[in-house]
Structure 1
Amino acid sequence: MKMNSIKMKNKLEERFNTNTDWRTSFNRDKDKFRVEWKETGQGISITIPNVIAKYELRGEAALDELEYHVSEALKVMNETHELNGQERHIYPVIRATSFPKKTKAGKKLLFSEHTAETRIYYALDLGSSYKLLEEDMLEAEGWTVERIREVSTFNVRSLANEPKHDRVADNDFYFIASQDGYDASRILNESLLEEMKANSKGELAVAVPHQDVLIFADIQNDTGYDILAQMTMKFFAEGRVPITSLSFIYDDKKLEPIFILAKNRPK
């Protein structure tokens, strides 16, 4: 039988109603299922159609993964964390500019501007998950935004970079997908971008369609742009934390969305 929103809601209720400290609700109009802490109201909203799409591809394994990530995220929401002594575990994370600037509880998230499509947030790594940093966490411990930027940038530079290579229609594509939660964050590693630029034969394009992949494209003909656009859209649609379906040209240490440059590109 074909899966629908009500059936999926029932499946999610079976999984998330086992914790007596949580409550669940279903918004039929928005087609969203929410799991939250009873005491604080903090929680996560899940878009049902997206879950159904993944369920139809992967079955119960998709729900196992969803249950794990939602449970971990809820645990993090209910914990108190300190920054002092945790310098090695602070990382930048890339999000779309549409990502909220505040938590559901109204606390301001710490972030920096990046491009017209992306924004940099900061996270405390907790092993199996991470907590996005809030402004009042800095105030409580005497940290500055600049210190967070420096520490997180240093940490992302220390991550291993082992791109997989694929050549399509005389264009070279490189993928970093280590599944450590910070693949897209590597776009902030300027030395990595400069290395890829120095070794490119054509124009270097960069894409962060979702949190768990960073794509470099050495574009050597017009077909390369079409391939990259299709590839980025596919990754964006499939990502657990989508960021942007647009790609960027990297030149002179700057990232410019390709759709802006395309207006002036000679045919």
Structure 2
Amino acid sequence: MHDHEESERLASYADVLAGELPGTWTSTYHPPGHTDDLHELTSRAWDMDLVAESLALHPLQHAAVLTRQDGAQLVVVDRHDGRDGLLVAALAPRSLPDEAYRGVGEPNGLALGDDPFVSAQQIASGLLPRYDTALARVRLHAAGVRPSQPDRVVLTWQPDGSLAASPVGKVAAAVLAANGFVEDQPDGIYRLSGDDTFAQARAVRETGQALKAQGIDTALQHPSGRIAPTSTHPTVAPATPVPAAPTASARRSP
């Protein structure tokens, strides 16, 4: 039978974490008996390290979920290595297809001590940056935006006529911003409106020239079959296919 004190400890610990992490977070406790919820949390744990190992050996009896205002989630679970504290892992989004996870490494979780204030700092400096980076990449994949290489920025046509780009460095990001692309937080995608196609074509041309001056190539991608404005053709090249990788569901399995 599950210890009531352990339930109180985990729920209270998670409440403190929610109040100490950067941004706005809420905490939800999933008690023993919520079998379906606990099974789903196990399947969504985005980890291939110590948390995955622990979940494989010790099925969840209870858990706490921390949810950020933008939908990002962490799960806090018991630690079974004889030490005080708990374990925390990122949760993979429910809504994204397995294909979106191809080529994206797991933002592996952390072992936490018994001080939730110190643990919040460890999560903020360690797990959250990895999680936000992984989230941005899978959302880019799900949106059909092919990730850029260090020396190339890929511009992807969207169904609404806008362009999306996923720069990998500060130089590319600065060039995009200077030419009318707006960063879409928290995904990290830079978008250029298609409301004015002439202005859009000019911005793409000038962006390509500015990136080329920095030694960065530009490529256009047409996932919907849309034909790009002809004025952009001299400054950009077609995107090359990205090799397929194993699905995320296989990698996320403990």
Settle same-fold status: TM greater than 0.5: no
Which gives a bigger RCO, structure 1 or 2 (Cα 8 Å, sep 6+)? 2
More strand by share: 1
